[in-house]
Structure 1
Amino acid sequence: MKIEDAKMTRRSFIKQIYKLSLGTIFLSSMGFGYARYIEPRQLKITRHPLQSVKIPMSFDGTRIVLFSDTHIGFNYTADQFSKLVNLINEKAPDIIFFTGDLLDAPNKYKEIGKVTQLLKDLRAPLGKFSIYGNHDHGGYGSEIIKMIMEEADFELLVNENKKLYNKMNDYIYISGLDDGMLGKPDPVKALQKIESDVYSIFLAHQPDLVKSIENLPADLQLSGHSHGGQVQLPFFGPIFTPYGATTYYEGFYQVGSTQLYVNRGIGTTRVPFRFFSPPELTIFTLRSLKGRSE
């Protein structure tokens, strides 16, 4: 090989390495921009039927909207929340569930009145229900969140349950658990006196708490907290999930006799990124199987 040819080969090699380096930097920058500014705003609406012989025929077609983990104040604003409220109302839910972490730092947030009014504007003729998340208790937020939910006509369920009646005077159970990290969760108390032949929906912020309700009357657990990991890698999954969501982090699971659904949440926390884990609004439709399998 001639010296000039060797020089050309080295020059070509260096040029290719340089291009590769630039490409890597460019792709990394594009990935950063996407994860920081695009995916966190790409709300995905998921729809699922909930079927059971325990659901009364008169509840067939009842629509539930679940949202979670807004973390308002950390890269998610009240104006953005206003758009979400309008979207939820457009879906005409009969029931609304919020599974915790409304404000990222309740004692530092300045637009409490605006958020309260937005929550109040949500419409659901059969009821609006919420539970505490760890950020709701954190930052001396327990009383702040309680006040917001009361003024916004949400029932804040803390280790308790209630019968939810419809116009036909049929009912299902709704129960809520206190936060599993900073609260005092008592699943036995939350699910006490629930009739085993009546459909029962259980709200718990941390999905892994499903392990604590084994042999208790909960047909469905709805949770948040995980954010779907916020950042997932193809073929690998989440690179990190928080305590309380290390086993179950998104979507449906069957855990014993309880069906679990984990919502990825609306906002972000700790870091303002989402990658392969877009924010989620979930719409469930109750479907009665009563009489179909008898």
Structure 2
Amino acid sequence: MPKKISRRSFLKRTIGSLFSIFGLGAGGYYYSREIEPKLLDVNQHKIINPDIPSSFNNFKIVQFSDTHLGFQYDAHQLKKLVKKINALKPDIIFFTGDLMDTPNQYHEANIIIPLLQELEAPFGKFSIYGNHDHGGYGTDIYKSIIEESGFKLLLNNHQQIKLIDGSSIYVIGIDDAMLGKPDIQTAIEGVPDQSYKILLSHAPDLADEAKNYNIQLQLSGHSHGGQVKIPFAGALVIPPYAENYNEGFYKIGSTPLTLYVNRGLGTTRLPFRFLCRPELTVFSLFQK
């Protein structure tokens, strides 16, 4: 009787075969497992919109996502990341989900909290749930860790970010699409329609719904940018709710909504990255 193989083993064999087909062989396999996952890109972008109050010009946002601690990403890498983020001197920090790969099997949670506590941002640190934050009985584990770390966990609600002159923008956070119950309507309730709104949604494909709420910017993760990209074949690892939008900028709807999909920092399912380096993203806001 043929031996059954897991989805992970099947994907691993498939990737190994594709490396061989494209002449990458053992070198490509080693590079994608041991080197590229540690090659961090720091990408900086300007967000220009007439709804941004002029007093928010050059307001700096740092987004990080999908660390998946316990799979391939470790506490030492997280410590280096914290130093790198602080060196950027962000005004506000967003974490867009998937902190640990399997929360109830990760035994170094006591290390995570003091590291994340070191992150500094005068206008706050905000986070949302990813699917892995709910998985592995992790819903309460993640909530406890992230809140003890000084982050405000947004769960279908919002937060006003207000400057001394009274001008403000709004940060809206929704639950994960795969294992949670995202509710944009509830999250946005009470937010002035003409205000500048930033939506944090782990799942990028929810932008197709968010475009109906006069939201100007959505920041997402989840896709890992496809994680492994083979020339002429494209991305190999595309999860549900990241099938329409999986990396970088998109303009959606008539408003339009600007969506940015962060490639994340860690890996999941397979410990590989190929032509898809991990990413830390810096956004600077400007009024048009």
TM-score (norm 2): 0.90
Please name the residue that 1:281 is paired with.
Answer: 280
Is contact 1:201–1:222 with CA below 8 Å preserved after alignment? yes
Amino acid at match of 1:61: N
Q: CA deviation at 1:213?
A: 1.8
Q: Which one of 55, 58, 63 corresponds to residue 61 of structure 1?
A: 58
Which of 118, 122, 133 is the aligned partner of 1:125? 122
Aligned to 2:185: 188
Identity %, equivalent residues = 51
Other structure's SS at 2:83 match: helix
5 Å-filtered alignment, 1:1-294, equals 27-256=24-253, 257-289=256-288
1:214, distance to aligned residue in structure 2 (A)? 3.2
Structure (1 or 2) with the larger CA radius of gyration: 1
CA RMSD of aligned residues (A): 1.4
The answer on whether the counterparts of 1:126 and 1:166 sit within 8 Å (CA) in structure 2 is no
1:159-187 CA distance string (max 9 Å, x none): 00121112333110000010101111111
Name the CA distance, whole Å, in 2 between partners of 1:166 and 1:274: 40
Count residues in correspondence: 267
Gaps of 5+ in 2: 1-19
Can you list the C-alpha shifts for 1:225-273, whole angstroms capped at 9, x where unaligned? 0001100122442123000101100000011121100000000000000
TM-score between both structures, scaled by the size of structure 1: 0.88
Q: SS of 1:278's equivalent?
A: coil
Contact 1:225 1:265 (8 Å CA) reproduced: yes
Which portions of structure 1, spanning 4 or more consecutive aligned residues, are displaced by more than 3 angstroms?
23-27
For 1:194-228, what per-residue CA distance to the aligned partner results, in whole angstroms no more than 9, with x for missing partners?
21211100000010011122321311010000001
C-alpha separation between the residues in 1 aligned to 2:250 and 2:26? 35
Q: Secondary structure at the match of 1:79?
A: helix
Deviation at 1:26, TM superposition (A): 7.7
Consecutive unaligned residues of structure 1, counting only runs of 5 or more, are 1-22, 290-294
Residue deviations 1:28-82 (CA, integer Å, cap 9, x gap): 1011011001110000111100111111111101110000000000011111110
Q: Distance in 2 between matches of 1:62 and 1:74?
A: 34
